Amino acid sequence: MQYRHHASYEERYRCFVYEKTKKGGGTGQYNNSDSNIIVRVAQSGDATCNGLSPSEGSRTMTLRKGTTKSPLENKFP
């Protein structure tokens, strides 16, 4: 991360962890086209990874594969 008023280089770094699962649980080999895959990602609030897990962190995200549309329907605002 880069912003104007950081006091030290440690304030520029964050730790990330992730977990890849299927809806309803399960781990193992995944096919990239599998729409049942869920990826949980967590970001630390500082440069340490203390107490960080895929479901607990300063910021958490749950990523899922979206639906596929024709190229003409995929427009950005």
For the chain, the domains span: 9-64
Query: Looking at the chain, how many residues does it have?
Result: 77
Judged by average pLDDT, the poorest of 13-17, 37-41, 62-66, 68-72 is 68-72
Per-residue tokens: 37 = 């895959």
Tokens standing for residue 58: 């300063």
Higher pLDDT, 6 or 56: 56
* pLDDT tens by residue, 10-59: 777 889 999 999 876 655 665 655 678 899 999 998 888 899 999 999 99
Instruction: Give the torsion through C-alpha atoms of 21, 29, 52, 41, to 10 deg.
Output: -60
What is the pTM (predicted TM-score) of this model? Answer: 0.65
Asked whether the beta carbons of 19 and 39 are under 8 A apart, the reply is yes
Backbone angles phi, psi at 17, to 5 degrees: -130, 150
